Structure 1
Amino acid sequence: MNRDSNLYTIVYASVMVILVALGLALTSQSLRSYQKKNEDIDKMMQILRSVRVQTTAADAEATFKSLIKESYLVDENGKQVEGDAFSTDYVKAFASKEALPVFVASIDGETKYIMAMSGAGLWGPLWGYMSVNEDKSTVYGADFSHQGETPGLGAEITQSFFSKEFYDKKLFNEAGEFKSIAIVKPGKTAEGQDYVDGISGGTITSQGVNQMILTSMGGYIKFLTSQKQ
């Protein structure tokens, strides 16, 4: 084949593209197990932060196994169903109203129930975990994550100063009615329910967190009220 011809150039470029694509595909496949492991470790760290436990990537798995005593899925009636809570696609589960994950932790001899959350912020998805005490109403801890909120503004939901605001807040009022926890502008209040201050300059993200807590915890109402009943 004439190396100066257009045909040669096209064939050569096509072969190189195919070889590079194959190389990238093989590399991605070979690294997939490591990527999955890192994703699992990150999820464990998020779940542990929701019960006020800070860990490193190196000891996250061991700490998770020692503190998380049980995990399961619950349906819309609050009943346990078959399935793997850890590997459940939370976004799909909330969107299609499928069974939701519950993790049971033992912290200083006390039982904490951890539930997942999924929502939307200004620039992308939000997610997180919220834990409650044995009364299934009083918040013990929370952790929030995001995909692309604005640094210094909406992205501040990941900071401990924000999650600590939720400590000891109530999901239900004294009459036993589910009220969620409102996110309000600093200086404002929410009548008839517990509330926390939103992120200054991150109004839309704060609204997204507010809606995420309302809808996500709302999906667990039957589970949360089962003990009371």
Structure 2
Amino acid sequence: MNRNSNAYTFIFAIIMVVVVGALLAFTSISLSDRQNANVKQEKMQNILYTVGVDSVEQNGAMVPLSRPLAEANFKKYITKQIALNSKGEVVEEGDKAFQVDLAKELNRTVEEQKFPLYEAEVDGAKYYIIPLRGTGLWDAIWGYVSLKDDVNTIKGVVFDHKGETTGLGGEITKAWFQQRFEDEKIFDSSGNLVGVSVVKGYTGGSNKDDNAVDAISGATITGDGVTDMISERLKHYLPYFKNQTDMKVAVK
């Protein structure tokens, strides 16, 4: 075949597309198991971070909680994994509850959604961990919030994002911002669920009973997204918490 002909060029281009496509598909399939394992371990790591487990004992010494160590120690601290329906009824347990994809759930109606909930015990204290997902300035934001056994006081939070601006909305991932939520209350003084608001120009100082924290300068919309995400997600767990007879606080 004439290498200078249009037919030769066309056939060569087709062959290259097929070869490159096959190589990319093979690479994607080969790496998918590892990618899925990384996602699973990161999820476990973030859940444990919210209850203060950021290091574990290994060979007689405390070491940072890496992703593999998070998976190895997950069930040491997480005593229950369940998923609820909108009525607060348990519809999934164990690994099936862990596998609930919140991003996909949000595409369903509230009545069709499943709401994962994790219970943890650390140094004799009980915690409830709730996954969060919402929208920031540019794209999705997500995270986890853990509540102490009064189902009112926040133990810790972890936030992440897909496309927020570095140095502005992207700061929600930083420890100094997430630490502002520690010991904040999600119910107001009347027992109404209000979550925690990220407030621009906050002047409450260290007040942990006003349901508010100071915002990130220049990231108002992302802060509003965090505020809405917390209150919107938490409200779906009220039916379950109301049905628990051992809760220490009244919820409305």
The TM tier, using the shorter chain, reads over 0.9
Q: Which moved more, 1:83-92 or 1:111-120?
A: 83-92
TM-score by length of 2: 0.85
Q: Which moved more, 1:83-92 or 1:120-129?
A: 83-92
Matched ranges for 1:39-54 at <5 A: 39-54=39-54
Query: Which stretches of structure 1, 4 residues or more, deviate above 6 A after TM superposition?
Result: none
| Same amino acid, percent of matched pairs | 39
Cα shift readout 1:163-196 (whole Å, capped 9, x = no counterpart):
1111111111233221211110133469x94111
**Partner SS state of residue 162, structure 1:** helix
Q: For residue 29 of structure 2, what is the aligned residue in structure 1?
A: 29
Q: Which moved more, 1:123-132 or 1:170-179?
A: 170-179
Deviation at 1:49, TM superposition (A): 1.4
Letter in 1 for 2:101: D
Q: For residue 154 of structure 1, what is the aligned residue in structure 2?
A: 169
**Partner SS state of residue 24, structure 1:** helix
Letter in 2 for 1:13: A
Contact 2:202 2:213 in 1 (8 A): no
Q: Distance in 2 between matches of 1:139 and 1:47?
A: 13
TM-score by length of 1: 0.93
Q: Which of 164, 168, 192 lines up with 1:177 in the alignment?
A: 192
Q: For residue 101 of structure 2, what is the aligned residue in structure 1?
A: 89
Q: Distance in 2 between matches of 1:169 and 1:226?
A: 23
Q: Distance in 1 between matches of 2:201 and 2:241?
A: 29
Matched ranges for 1:59-208 at <5 A: 59-82=69-92, 84-96=96-108, 97=110, 98-188=113-203, 193-208=210-225
Contact 1:137 1:224 in 2 (8 A): no
Letter in 2 for 1:91: A
Contact 1:179 1:193 in 2 (8 A): no
Cα shift readout 1:21-66 (whole Å, capped 9, x = no counterpart):
0111011101110110111111111111111222212311112121
Q: Distance in 1 between matches of 2:158 and 2:92?
A: 26
What is the root-mean-square deviation in Å for CA atoms of aligned residues?
1.8
How many residues are treated as equivalent by the alignment? 228
Please list every run of 5 or more consecutive structure 1 residues that lacks an aligned counterpart in the other structure: none
Q: Distance in 1 between matches of 2:48 and 2:137?
A: 26
Q: For residue 58 of structure 1, what is the aligned residue in structure 2?
A: 68
Q: For residue 221 of structure 1, what is the aligned residue in structure 2?
A: 238
Please list every run of 5 or more consecutive structure 2 residues that lacks an aligned counterpart in the other structure: 55-64
